[in-house]
Amino acid sequence: MKNKITFFKEAIKNIRTSGTVVPSSKFLIKRMLADIDFDAARILVEYGPGSGIITEEILKRMHPEARLFCFEINELFYKHLSGYKHPQLIMVKTSALDIKEVIQKHGFDAVDCVVSSLPLAIMPPEISLSILEKTYDVLRVEGKLIQYQYSLQNKKDLKKVFGQHVKIQFVTLNIPPAFVYFCKKVQ
Ligand SMILES: C[S@@+](CC[C@H](N)C(=O)[O-])C[C@H]1O[C@@H](n2cnc3c(N)ncnc32)[C@H](O)[C@@H]1O
């Protein structure tokens, strides 16, 4: 599963939920994770880990007392990541829409950071907006959502939810080049 060919096969079979056939580049991952205070963060969330290319980098960087919740709806990707059996990783085979219920079920009420690869642009607009609103709701104050996208299609929704606290960077060294949104919840 680590190799690109296997991700390609599963992603192409499920193109309506994967939104791409190529995993994120190391340049994109580095840029996304550079903004996270791993010394301080204790509850991290990843939406859409796929074959785990970003997950592995988060697990390497996170504090030994931190937890990473990964939401993945694809059966094969979910099983693959469950096989890591990493003590800090909690795999959840459900939609990102359920973030609040899942976090609460595990005894937490807020999260420090959400890293998302969800293909927002190809989701029904009411679903993508609802995921953003639920994410905002569950973030602690000063908590962050870091999301990449291949277009600026959902910029309006991100601004609607996070107000002025949305910064955008463009990463050219990725297939295709991607926009990264850094969104902060400010009281
Ligand atoms: C573009 S792939 C990202 C894979 C990997 N994180 C990367 O960056 O290369 C998007 C992933 O989101 C998952 N996904 C799509 N809709 C989802 C949802 N509502 N909740 C959780 N995961 C979802 C897909 O199954 C797929 O694995």
Look up the domain containing 85 and give its range.
4-184
Residue 47's beta-bridge partner residues? 71, 116
What total number of domains does the chain contain? 1
Closest residue by Cα to atom 12, ligand 1, is 48
Instruction: CATH number of the domain at 29, please.
Output: 3.40.50.150
Please tell me the predicted confidence (pLDDT) of residue 4. 65
23 C-beta closer than 6 A to ligand 1: yes
Q: Rounded to two decimals, what is the model's pTM?
A: 0.96
Q: pLDDT tens digit string along 109-127?
A: 999 999 999 999 999 999 9
| CA 123 and chain centroid, separation | 15
CA angle 106, 162, 148 (to 5 degrees): 80
Closest residue by Cα to atom 24, ligand 1, is 18
| CA 85 and chain centroid, separation | 20
